[in-house]
Structures are given as C-alpha cells and as structure tokens.
Amino acid sequence: MNAVLTKEKQQDSHGRNESLTQKEKVYETKGLNLWYGETQALKNINLDIYQNEVTAIIGPSGCGKSTYIKTLNRMSELVPSVRTSGTIAYRGRNILDKSYKAEDLRTQVGMVFQKPNPFPKSIYENVAYGPKIHGIKNKKLLNEIVEKSLRGAAIWDEVKDRLHENAYGLSGGQQQRLCIARCLAIEPDVILMDEPTSALDPISTLKVEELVQELKKDFSIIIVTHNMQQAARISDRTAFFLNGEVIEFDETNTIFSKPNDQRTEDYITGRFG
C-alpha cells in the first residue's frame, strides 16, 4: 500500500497527474437530482468516474453516498417512490433513460453490498449463477469461470476443496470475497462497492482492500466507505458528499493533503461525521 502512495507522490511531483486525467471516462453524471417521495437525497451531482481507477465516495451517514452509488446501476429504482432528474452517462449513454434496460446495465456494472449476501446455494452455484442466467450452460466453461473468478477474488485456495458446500458455512470475510467472485464471474466493466468492509474484521478488511488494488487493473471501481483511512489507502480519486451534495471531488492525495473546502477538511480531520 505504501508503494501505491509513493508512486502517486512521484507523479504529483511532476505537477498535475496527467496519466490520471487522460483516462477514459466510464460515467459522467450531470445535474443529477434524486428524491425519495418529498425528500431530496441528491442535489445537482456532477461527477466523472474514470476507467481503471478506484473512486472513493466518503461522507457522513445520510449524505447520499449510498444512494448515489445505487443510481449507477439503477438499484435505486427498486424503492417505489424514487424520482430522478439529470443524466448519468455510462459509456456515453444515459442510463436514466427509460429505454435503457436496467438488466443490461447491471450485466455491465456489478455490485458488492455492505453485508455479504451470498445466495443460499453452494459456493460453486453462487459464482456460476450469473453466467447461468445469462445463458452459459457449458459445464467445462462454467468450471473455468468459477475457478477464475474465485482466484480473482483471492478466495480460491480457501474454498477449492469445498466448492459444493453451502456458502453460508464461510466466514463473513470469505462470504464477502465470494460475493466479489460472483460479481467477477460475469466479467463486468465496473464494480460498485457499497461499504464492502463495514461488516468485516480488520484482517478480512485488509484482504478486500488488497483485492481492490488488484482488481482495478481490469475493472473500474467505485467504493463507498465510512472509513477515511480506507479511502486514502486504496483510492485514486475521492468525492466528499455532504447533505446530498458533492462538496469536493479531486485526486485522493489532494483531498487528504490540501482540500479546497473547509467542510472537507473538517470532515477528514474528524471534526464531524
């Protein structure tokens, strides 16, 4: 992890970090507002997500960070009273447009939840579930996908001898990495992580954090976290949310070393939140 930070510092010493800003945009959010009934949860959000980066979203409870990440795969619309305005372009296409099928989007954009939520099935079936519902039936191919995904989520060695046991026999940390494996199995483009380590012990947390570093080579990752140290450790950019607004969005180093906004500084130094 130190290596990551020093690398970024070196880049910083050359002035602006050009390699970061030139990356392709995965998501462009423009003027996004979201209401739960009469309550406005997101106010005029403008935020870009870049490819092969880890973007962290931080902020106190109730600031809208989970709501925002759920609009990125339209899980937010499962709440009946939700209304939105503005646009979120994913790879150039507005996902809030009704003609965009949520199922198509979610096949591209995987999600890992706060609490591990494996299906009440075997470890193998959990990982094979995604490919199966999308029509992959070839046993050999499925076996390969399962092994590759479990390896990708750094859990293969722990479960390879008990693939057909129920996933609920795993520890919380293992379940969470299984959920990541389940997500990798459909080879998504983006992985959304909604406080993925908040229910885990420190060692499992570390494993997931290391995994995130590994995964960003192949995926773009957006992670909501309560833990500012975590954001500082693993992310390339950080957005600070407060009361449904983006207060500041910048490279993580900048946010944590010289934030522009007083409120950001107050939050990261622990004055509130």
Partner 1 sequence: MAVNHGSEQSIQKMIFEKKQQKNKRWNVEKIIPFLLLITAAISVLTTVGIVLTLVFETFTFFERVSIIEFFTADKWYPFSATAASYGIMPLIVGTLKIAFIAALVAVPIGLASAIYLSEYASEKARRIIKPLLEILAGVPTIVYGFFALTFVTPLLRDLFPGLEIFNALSPGIVVGIMIIPMIASLSEDAMSSVPRSIREGAYAMGATKFETAIKVILPAALSGIIASVVLALSRAIGETMIVSVAGGSTPSMNMDVTSSIQTMTSYIVQVSTGDAGFGTTIYYSIYAVGMTLFVFTLLMNILAQFISRKFREEY
Give the one residue of 130, 152, 196, 259 binding partner 1; rule: CB under 8 A: 130
Strand spans (E) along the chain:
25-36, 39-50, 54-58, 82-90, 93-94, 109-112, 190-194, 220-224, 237-242, 245-251
Q: Which is nearer to partner 1, 16 or 83 (CB)?
A: 83
Tally of residues, the chain: 273
Please give the structure tokens belonging to residue 117.
């939520």
Question: Is beta strand 93-94 parallel, antiparallel or unpaired with respect to 82-90?
Answer: antiparallel
**Position 163: which residue type?**
L
Nearest approach, Cβ of residue 119 and partner 1 (Å): 6
Residue 15 gets the label, from left (phi > 0), alpha (psi -120 to 50) or beta, of left
Q: Which is nearer to partner 1, 17 or 108 (CB)?
A: 108
Q: Is residue 129 a contact partner of residue 121, using CB atoms and an 8 Å limit?
A: yes
Nearest approach, Cβ of residue 106 and partner 1 (Å): 4
Give the one residue of 15, 92, 120, 270 binding partner 1; rule: CB under 8 A: 120
Distance, in Å, from the CA atom of 260 to the CA atom of 145, rounded to the nearest integer, reads 45
Distance, in Å, from the CA atom of 112 to the CA atom of 117, rounded to the nearest integer, reads 9
Nearest approach, Cβ of residue 77 and partner 1 (Å): 10
# residues contacting partner 1 (CB under 8 A): 31
Give the one residue of 7, 9, 134, 160 binding partner 1; rule: CB under 8 A: 134
Nearest approach, Cβ of residue 29 and partner 1 (Å): 19
**Position 68: which residue type?**
Y
Nearest approach, Cβ of residue 143 and partner 1 (Å): 19
Note whether 104 binds partner 1 by CB under 8 A: yes
Distance, in Å, from the CA atom of 120 to the CA atom of 162, rounded to the nearest integer, reads 15
Q: Which of positions 186-225 make contact with partner 1 (CB under 8 A)?
A: 186
Nearest approach, Cβ of residue 130 and partner 1 (Å): 4
Q: Which of positions 49-78 make contact with partner 1 (CB under 8 A)?
A: 73, 75, 78
Note whether 80 binds partner 1 by CB under 8 A: yes
Nearest approach, Cβ of residue 181 and partner 1 (Å): 12
Give the one residue of 23, 25, 43, 115 binding partner 1; rule: CB under 8 A: 115
Instruction: Indicate the SS3 state at residue 128.
Output: helix
Distance, in Å, from the CA atom of 102 to the CA atom of 109, rounded to the nearest integer, reads 10
Instruction: Indicate the SS3 state at residue 227.
Output: coil
Q: If you ran DSSP here, which 8-state letter would residue 12 be given?
A: H
Note whether 255 binds partner 1 by CB under 8 A: no
Note whether 119 binds partner 1 by CB under 8 A: yes
Residues forming the site for partner 1 (CB under 8 A) = 73, 75, 78, 80, 102-108, 110-111, 113, 115, 117-121, 129-130, 132-134, 166, 168, 179, 182-183, 186
